[in-house]
Amino acid sequence: MNNKMLNIFSSFSSKKKKNQEKLETQNLEEYLIFDNKTKVEIVDLYKNYKNKRQESNFVSYDQLYSYVLLKANQGFNSELYKKYEQSYQNALKNKHNLEFADFVISFNLDPKYSQTLLIPIITSKTTSNNIAVNFASSKDLAEQTFFTNLNQEIVKLLNTQKILEIFPGLLIFKSTETNSSLKTLFSKDFISVIKR
């Protein structure tokens, strides 16, 4: 690497050097200062996710599923829940679509994050080019009761402007700014790199 490039990159640091400002916070925003004059804002892509979790209308994963399981006369130790938990964890790990009664959680690229990272998105229907896991209906009566209760509770809570943690680290809610469309926010755990 030539000296000019090395100097440019070495000046780009959050650690204080001689005659150089350091990382500073102004109005709760972070900036990186280099060359003693150029200020670059540091953006936290997960800030909205963290903030939504702190709102008074936030419903945690445990709260949502405790209620749904209670209505189905089941618990977190039941075979029904363990099967559901295994199904959604496997679907998330393999980036399969997760079909609910009124929406589908899918995975796609978003240039806001990267050209090579898959992130969760909400769509109105499943795509034909991906495996889907059905959480809307089942031939098993106990499982169908659970799915019905879950989907009804999700719709009810979303219609009352609740922010739902549908899976640990994944939030869904209705936007008040965009015609009540469903939105999703997520933790870093939901980001996956595409292997090409």
Q: Confirm if 164 and 157 have CB atoms less than 8 A apart.
A: yes
- Average pLDDT of the chain to the nearest whole number: 81
Kindly indicate the confidence band of residue 5, based on its pLDDT and cuts at 50, 70 and 90.
very low
**Does the pLDDT at position 2 exceed 70?**
no
Q: What is the pTM of this model?
A: 0.75
182-186/24-26 β-pairing: unpaired
Structure tokens at 195: 């292997």
Measured distance CA(115)–CA(104) in Å, rounded:
22
Q: Confirm if 170 and 53 have CB atoms less than 8 A apart.
A: no
Domain positions in the chain: 3-42, 47-193
Structure tokens at 61: 């994963």
**Does the pLDDT at position 16 exceed 60?**
no
User: Looking at per-residue confidence, does 106 or 15 come out higher?
Assistant: 106
Structure tokens at 49: 């996710």
